[in-house]
Structure 1
Amino acid sequence: MTSTSNPRDLQAQLEALTTEAFRPELADIDRLPTLDIARLMNGEDATVPTAVAERLPEIAAAIDAVAERMARGGRLVYAGAGTAGRLGVLDASECPPTFNTDPSQVVGVIAGGPEAMVTSVEGAEDSADLARADLDGLGVGPVDTVVGVSASGRTPYAIGAVEHARARGALTIGLACNADSALAAAAEHGIEIVVGPELLTGSTRLKAGTAQKLVLNMLSTITMIRLGKTYGNLMVDVRASNDKLRARSRRIVALATGAQDDEIERALAATDGEVKNAILTILAEVDGPTAGRLLAEAGGHLRAALAAATMK
């Protein structure tokens, strides 16, 4: 996995990247009082949402394409190295508890494997072959989406993942933090969030990492909204399987229906703790099995199931 790039060529590439630029006005930052450094850092972070806002049309187009594939049974796969890879794994790992997705529906792969979540795996990010092997291990195909994530936009692992996925017919998205990146160019949907030079030269776990986290939040969350995993801004696609989730489930049903506690308890009991089904039994005044059938016919979309129930 050792890189064969000429060190001088690589240095020249890095020096040309906005995310790697040196800021001479911050050369004495280590001499400043802690509060002043905190203010500087906070000011830098405040610029990130504006950079993301400039790319919302591209982000929205990518989300619609992801949702269309996932509605046909496809998966969402994040691929990256270092901080970018860890952020992808984090976003993927939070989908099952938030949206009751199967762990195989949203997946994060990181250069170097699970070990790279907590330590650096030398050379892993430089290997496009490793990315291809990781995607082949998942059996990536035409209904899937692969999102390559790289602050620099030049990481071979992320580019290799996108190129291989595209060759397999998968939808591809390239998320980078530099303009005119090779990663965005390799993908069908290129998203470049240009956050500028970092507070610490080249430390892309800072503004670039924050930008990537914001975009990944949008990709997964809005895709799940499009797939009917929510009702308004309520996470209705959860199942009451422990005390904490049972309490949360009762609150969600209450907010969605305005029903009293005893009616909510009966609805959850009749639907084996399925929040979406329980809401439907109350609002549509149907029994548990009927609620399940209506939701199945509506592809899991609660609003559509409610509309169908009122027409019967």
Structure 2
Amino acid sequence: MEIKNLETEARNPATTHIDTMSTSDMVKTINAEDQKVALAVAGESDQIAKAIDQASTRYSAGGRLIYIGAGTSGRLGVLDAAELVPTYGIKPERAIGLIAGGKKAMFAAVEGAEDSITMGETDLKNLKLTANDIVIGLAASGRTPYVIGGLKYAAKVQALTIAVACVPNSVIGQIAEIAINAVVGPEVITGSTRMKAGTAQKMILNMISTGVMIRQGKVYQNVMVDVQPTNDKLVDRACRIISETAEIPTAKALSFLKKADNDVALAIVMAKTGKSKIVAKQLLAKYHGIVSDVLNSLN
């Protein structure tokens, strides 16, 4: 399909006079269009869940979350990868964002980079891609050559391939094992896919990466148990997490945190079970770090 015929390039009839609207009406119109994004993402819930389940299996086997995209899509992938490290305490090499044109493309357009199929393949080859890895291809238009090249190579390696696009029956969706096509409709400003399409991709990435981290035991109840208490603010957060989940005073929570060598999950298991650090560690290892599974096993 030609670019001009893509859903993401169509003119939006609700905004043809946005340039003459009052500022208040402009804001309300943009907000009304944004409300369509969540509904479009909801329509892909089953595919997103499938992506989480399959990605979790590969990640548990030592695979990496690898995002590949160009422009806004590429920047969103880099952002998601970068934020997983401090949020869930994972190693930087377990979540990697690739953007057409390299790091400099995060801050300025690199002309022609997204049009190279071979560059997408080369960037993944440089990472020594394996079958355990997860490659998430991002393209609002669903047809970016850089992403197509990356996904085709990933499929050859038998890595898990996931496509995230904002048009129906996207080209990248036809290449990937799992296709997520959140059709958000024409943009407020024609072709400005950093808006609704970008928001949809951000929401989908939030779901996928958060879901994968939950399945790795990085979350107990609804709190982050792999938070790294490297400064006063994070020590305070860690103590509150332990205090609230184990239902103990903050001072006692701090004591458990110190005994657990700043390992929040370990401190919670020790506090809730009365087990020693050694036994609590063994239990967490047995149940793959999932606090709720450890506690359920003892009940």
Verify same fold: TM over 0.5.
Answer: yes
Q: Mean Cα displacement is larger for which, 239-248 or 25-34? A: 25-34
| Aligned match of 1:296 | 285
Q: In structure 2, which of residues 55, 60, 65 is the aligned counterpart of residue 76 of structure 1?
A: 65
Unpaired segments ≥5 residues, structure 2: none
Instruction: Answer with 281-290 or 21-30: which moved more.
Output: 21-30
Q: Does 1:190 align with 2:179?
A: yes
Write out per-residue CA displacement over residues 31-81 of structure 1, whole angstroms, 9 at most, x where no aligned residue. Answer: 111111111100000110000111101110111000011111111111000
**Does the 8 Å CA contact 2:220/2:291 hold for their aligned counterparts?**
yes
- The alpha-carbon deviation at position 181 of structure 1 amounts to 1.1
Counterpart position of 1:283:
272
Contact 2:240–2:253 under 8 Å retained in 1: no
Rounded to whole Å, the distance in 1 between the matches of 2:295 and 2:75 is 39
One of 250, 253, 270 as aligned partner of 2:259: 270
CA distance in 2, matches of 1:179, 1:65: 23
Deviations 1:150-209 (A, max 9, x none): 000000011111111010110000110001111000000011000010010100000000
The count of residues paired between Structure 1 and Structure 2 equals 299
1:24 Cα deviation after fit: 5.0
Indicate conservation of the 8 Å contact 2:15/2:29, yes or no: no
SS class of match (2:282): helix
TM superposition shift of 1:306: 2.3
2:93 corresponding residue in structure 1: 104
> Which residue in 2 is equivalent to 1:240?
229
Paired residue type of 2:120 = A
Q: Paired residue for 2:33?
A: 44
1:85 and 2:87 are equivalent in the alignment: no
**Contact 1:270/1:287 (<8 A) preserved:** no
Q: Distance in 2 between matches of 1:114 and 1:262?
A: 44
CA distance in 1, matches of 2:234, 2:250: 16
CA contact (8 A) 1:86 1:117 kept: yes
Cα offset for 1:305?
2.2
Alignment of 1:202-217 (within 5 A): 202-217=191-206
> How far apart are the structure 2 equivalents of 1:215 and 1:42?
19
After the TM superposition, which residues 13-28 of structure 1 pair with which residues of structure 2 at under 5 Å, given as runs?
13-24=2-13, 26-28=15-17
Q: Give 3-state SS (helix, strand or coil) of 1:138's partner.
A: coil
Partner residue of 1:219? Answer: 208
Given candidates 75, 80, 103, the residue that maps to 1:114 is 103
Q: Which amino acid in the other structure matches residue 62 of structure 2?
A: G
Does the alignment pair 1:169 with 2:153? no
Q: Which amino acid counterpart does residue 238 of structure 1 have in structure 2?
A: V
Q: C-alpha distance in 1, partners of 2:153/2:43?
A: 29
> Which SS does the other structure have where 2:185 is aligned?
coil
Matches of 2:127 and 2:205, distance apart in 1: 20
Give, in whole Å, the separation in 2 of the partners of 1:231 and 1:150.
33
SS of structure 2 residue aligned to 1:68? helix
Alpha carbons 2:240, 2:250 under 8 Å: kept = no
Give the partner amino acid of 1:172.
T
Asked whether the equivalents of residues 141 and 169 of structure 1 are also in contact (C-alpha less than 8 Å), the reply is: yes
Gaps of at least 5 residues in structure 1 are 1-11
Contact kept? 1:241, 1:273, Cα under 8 Å: no
Deviations 1:243-279 (A, max 9, x none): 1110000000011111113321221111111100000
Are residues 15 and 265 of structure 1, via their aligned partners in 2, closer, same or farther at CA, if it must alter by over 3 Å?
A: same
